[in-house]
Chains A and B, each alone.
Chain A
Amino acid sequence: MALLEVRDLKTSFFTPMGEIKAVDGVSFDLDKGRVLGIVGESGSGKSVSAYSILQILTPPGKVVGGSVKFNGDELVGASEKKIRDIRGNRISIIFQDPMTSLTPVFTIGNQLMEAILLHTDRNKKEARARAVEMLGLVGINDPERRMGQYSFELSGGMRQRVMIAMALACEPDILIADEPTTALDVTIQAQIIELMTELQHKLGMAIIMITHDLGVIASICDEVIVMYAGKVCERGTADQIFYNPKHEYTKGLLRSIPNIESDDKERLIPISGMPLDMLHMPAGCAFAPRCDRAMKICLTSQPQEYFVAQDHISACWVNIQEGIQSGLIKLDENGGVKV
C-alpha cells in the first residue's frame, strides 16, 4: 500500500459561466520518502490537484469525484475534523507566493506556534522552543528575534523558509510544495530547492513538488507527472520522462527548454498555439489542437492512459497507434481491443 493513493480525482469550479473541470481524473501513487514532481503550464490543474488532496479549495471549487487514500484512509468525503487532523500535521503544504501566504497582522512566532500547539501535546513554552528550533533548521539566523517579527519585515526567501519551517514543524509524512520557488529570485530559488532536498534527506518525508520549472523537477524528483488541461498526459520515473518522453506534449515541453549539453546550433522550439479555454473543452484530446502529430481520432475521442513501459504511462493516441503497430495491443476485426 502506498502512502498516498489518488484515484480518478475530479475537481470542478462552478462559475456563473459554467463548470470548469480543473482536475479531470488524475491518478497517482506516492510512496514513503519519495519525491513526486507535477509539471504543467498555468491552469493545467497542478495546484488544484494539490488543494483537492487537502480539501483546501476556495469556493466555487469542489471535489466532485474520485478517491484520495492516505495510509489507506479515505479523505474524500471524510469528516472535517479528520481532515483537519491531517492538514499541517501529516500532510503539509507550502505555497507559491510567500509574500501573501503569511497572515500580515500576526507575528511569525505566533503563526509557527499555532500549528505546533494544535497538533502536538506541547505547551506554549515547548511550542515556542520547537518553533525556534524549526527556524534554525531552515537556516534563518537569529531565530529568537524573528519570532517577534511580522512577515512584511522579512525578504521573500526568508518568508518561504518560514513557510517551510511551519509546514515541517509537526514532522509530516508528506510535504506538498506548490510552486515554492516561482515567486523568488533565481539565486534564492536554488537555495530553497537545496534546503528542501537537505531537509528531505534529514527528515525523510515524501514530497509532491508542483512546478512548471523542468529544471527543478530534474534535480530532485524520483517520479514525474505531466499534466495538461486537468488530465495526466504522462507519468513515469524522472529518467523515463526526461530521456524517453512519449507524449507529444512532454516532448514539446522538453524541446522548449535550453539544454547545456546539446550543441548550440539547435534552436528552442516553443509549443505553438494558446492554452485552452477551460470552459470549452474539445471532445477529443485537449492537446490535439496544438499537436503537430494530431490525427483524426485525436479530435473526436479522448486517449486513455496507456502503459508504454513498466511504470510509464502516456495518454496519447500516437502511442496507442504505435502499440497497435508493434503488436502490443491487438485489435479484433471490428476495431475493438483484444486482450
Chain B
Amino acid sequence: MSYKFGLYILKRFGMAFLTIFIVIFMTFFIMHAIPASPFSSEKARTDATIAALEAKYGFDKPLPVQFVNYLRGVFVFDFGLSTAWVGYTVFDLIKGGLSYSMRIGFSAAFIAIVFGVLLGALAAINRDRWVDKIIQLITTALVSLPSFVVATLFLLIFGLWLRWLPTISTNPGGLVMPVAALALYPMAYITRLERSSMLDVLGQDFIRTAHAKGLSKFKVLFKHALKCAVSPVITYAGPMMAYILTGSMVVENIFSVPGLGRLFVNSMLRTDYMMIMGVTIFLTLMIVVMNFLSDVLYKIMDPRIDLE
C-alpha cells in the first residue's frame, strides 16, 4: 500500500505541476498576444513615457526572456507589479482580497458539502416518496439558475424588499447573502451526486449483508452506506473550488465584497494585464491544489480504488 500510494502521490503531483505550468504558459502568451501596450489605453501618454514604463515593468525585453523571468517570479509568489494600482505588487493585492474570498468561499463549500450530503442521503433513503420528489425538484431548479441570477434575486428579495439582510458586505451579517448565493449551486449539485451514489450503494449486496446481520437501519445507512457513498462527493471538491472561485467574481461584485473575484473583474475593467495574469495563475494554483488533495483523500477513503 504505502509504496504504491507514494508512487501515486508522486505521479499525481507531477500532473498538478504540469497543469500549473501549462496555465502559466497559456496565460503569459495569451496576454502577450494582445497587440496594445497595457499603458497605451491610459490617458494621454507620450511614446517616451510609455517606453520608460515598459522598461520599468520589463516589457521591453524579448518575449522568451520575459517568460523565464516571469516564471522565476511565480515560484516565489512574485507576480510583478500592478499597472493599474500603481505602487502595489500583484501579490499584495491578491493577499488583500484573499482573506475575504477565503472566508465566503470556505463557508459556502462547508455549507454545500454538509447540506448536500445530508439532503442527498435523505432523498435516496426516501426514494420516490414525496421527500425525495421535493428535494429533486428543488435541486433541479437550483442547478438551472446561474450564480448571478441567484445573487441578484437575493439582493432584491432579502436586501431591498424584505430588508432582512444588509446589501453591503462590510455591515454585520453582510456575508450571509454572498455565502448563500455561492453555496446554493454546489449544494444542489452535491445533493444530486450523493443521491445517485447512495442509491447505487443501497442496491449493493453488502447492504443486504449488513441488514442480514441484524444491524439497525440507521447503522446500515450511516455506517455502511454513507461511507461508500461520499467518495464521489470528494472528487467534486476540485470542480466545486473552481465554481466557487469563478462564482465569487459575480457574487463579490453584486454584494461589493472586496475579495479576489472583485479584484479580478476590476483588473479586467482597468486592463491590468499583470493583475489578470497573476490572479488567474493564483486561482489555478488553488484549484489544482484542491484537485490534488481531493484525489488523494479519495484514495484514502476508498481503499478499493486501484492505484494504477
Touch A–B, Cβ below 8 Å: yes
Residues of chain A having any CB pair with chain B under 8 Å = 51, 54, 56, 58-59, 80, 84-89, 92-93, 95, 97, 100-106, 114-115, 118-119, 150, 152, 163, 166
Contacts of A101 in B (CB 8 A): 205-206, 208-209
Contact of A58 with B203 at beta-carbon distance under 8 Å, contacts A104-B302, A105-B303, A152-B303 already known: yes
Once the chains bind, are B213 and A87 in contact (CB under 8 Å)? yes
Interface of B is mostly: helix
Give 11 CB contacts A-B under 8 Å: A56-B212, A80-B217, A84-B215, A88-B214, A92-B212, A100-B206, A102-B206, A103-B209, A104-B304, A115-B213, A152-B303
Counting chain B CB atoms within 10 Å of each CB, the highest count among A89, A102, A106 belongs to A106
- Docked-complex contact A95 and B208, CB < 8 angstroms: yes
Interface residue total, chain B, C-beta cutoff 8 A: 23
B210 within 8 A of A: yes
**A150 adjacent to B303 (CB under 8 Å):** yes
CB contacts (< 8 Å) of A59 on chain B: these are 127
| Contact flag A95-B215 (CB < 8 Å), given A103-B210, A152-B304 | no
- Return the CB mask of B100-142 against A: 1 if under 8 Å, else 0: 0000000000000000000000000001000000000000000
Q: Nearest residue in A to B227 (C-beta to C-beta)?
A: A105
- Collect the chain B residues with CB atoms within 8 Å of residue A118's CB: 213-215
Residue of A nearest to B228 (CB): A105
Alpha-carbon distance between A102 and B228 when the two chains are bound, in angstroms? 12
Enumerate the 6 nearest inter-chain pairs by beta-carbon distance, A residue then B residue, closest first.
A87-B214, A88-B213, A88-B214, A100-B205, A103-B206, A115-B213
Contact B206 A89 (CB under 8 A): no
For residue A114, which residues in chain B have a CB less than 8 angstroms away from its CB?
Answer: 213, 215
0/1 per residue, B45-76, Cβ < 8 Å to A?
00000000000000000000000000000000
Whole-angstrom distance between the alpha carbons of A84 and B216 in the complex?
7
* Set B127, B209, B216: member contacting A102, Cβ < 8 A: B209
> Min CB distance, A275 to chain B, in Å?
23
Contact B214 A84, beta carbon cutoff 8 Å:
yes
Contact across chains for A103 and B211 when beta carbons are under 8 A apart: no
Give bound CA distance, A216 to B203, whole Å: 29
List B contacts of A119 (CB < 8 A): 214
In the complex, A101→B213 CA distance in Å? 12
Instruction: State A103–B228 Cα separation when bound (angstroms).
Output: 8
**Given B205, B208, B214, B217, which contacts A89 in the complex, CB threshold below 8 Å?**
B214
Complex contact A87–B208 (CB within 8 A): no
Complex Cα spacing A323 to B7, Å: 75
Does B40 belong to the interface (CB within 8 Å)? Answer: no
Is B301's CB within 8 Å of the partner chain A? yes
- The residues of A that contact B214 with a CB separation of less than 8 Å are 84-89, 115, 118-119
Give the distance to chain B from A82, nearest Cβ to Cβ, in Å: 11
CB-CB under 8 A for A104 and B303, given A114-B215, A115-B214, A119-B214: yes
| B304 with A58: CB separation less than 8 A | no
Task: Return chain A residues, CB-CB under 8 Å to B216.
Answer: 84
From 195 to 253 in chain B, residues with beta carbon under 8 angstroms from any chain A beta carbon are 202-206, 208-217, 224, 227-228
User: Once the chains bind, are B228 and A104 in contact (CB under 8 Å)?
Assistant: yes
Closest Cβ of chain B to A57, distance in Å, is: 9
Contacts A93-B212, A101-B206 aside, 7 further interface pairs with beta carbons under 8 A come to A54-B212, A89-B214, A92-B212, A97-B205, A104-B228, A106-B227, A152-B303
Q: Shortest Cβ distance from B198 into chain A, in angstroms?
A: 14
Tell me which residues across on chain B come within 8 A of A92, comparing CB atoms. Answer: 212
- Min Cβ gap A331→B in Å is 48
Select one of A87, A103, A150 contacting B224, CB under 8 A: A103
Residues of A within 8 A of B227 (CB): 105-106
Q: How far is the CA of A58 from the CA of B227 in the complex (A)?
A: 20
Shortest Cβ distance from B305 into chain A, in angstroms? Answer: 10
Closest to A152 in B: B304
Partner of B204, one of A54, A88, A93, A100: A100
Q: Give, as a whole number of angstroms, the nearest-CB distance from A70 to chain B.
A: 13
Max chain B C-beta neighbours (<10 A), residue from A86, A88, A97, A166: A88
Most buried by A among B203, B224, B302: B224
